Amino acid sequence: MVPMEKTLIISDQCSACKALLEALKNQGALDKYHVVNIASPEGQDIVQKLGLTAVPECLVVVKDGSGEMARKCSKEEIIEVLKEAGGVKDRT
């Protein structure tokens, strides 16, 4: 299985980012994510390479023998993040 890491791109100026991080922390799920602030050099590099225009943003980074590939999270992956934060309930 190819290693995958979910990265949350956030900003200190974003109230939704702060709420998401706090909710993930409260649910004990924050350690499942790599959190990157857009103001950091790493964040600026990601924003430039992927053309991100809004935060919070969820990325999936896939690492294999040939390097790294990043993509935005799918709708289902974003819903998974929100579920882990306690913000979305299953409707089954």
First to last CA, the chain: 30
pLDDT 10s digits, 60-81: 888 777 777 888 888 888 888 8
Quickly tell me which residue has 């896939």 as its tokens.
Answer: 62
Residue 52 contacts residue 70 (beta carbons within 8 Å): no
pTM above 0.75, yes or no: yes
The encoded tokens of residue 33 equal 């994510």
Q: Which CATH number fits domain 4-84: 3.40.30.10, 2.30.110.10, 3.50.50.60, 3.30.420.40?
A: 3.40.30.10
Residue 60 contacts residue 70 (beta carbons within 8 Å): yes
Instruction: Provide the residue ranges of all domains of the chain, joining segments of one domain with +.
Output: 4-84
Q: How many helices (H) and strands (E) does the chain have?
A: 3, 4
Which residue stretches of the chain are H helix?
15-26, 41-50, 75-84
pLDDT means per 10 residues, the chain with 92 residues, are 78 92 91 93 91 88 78 87 77 49
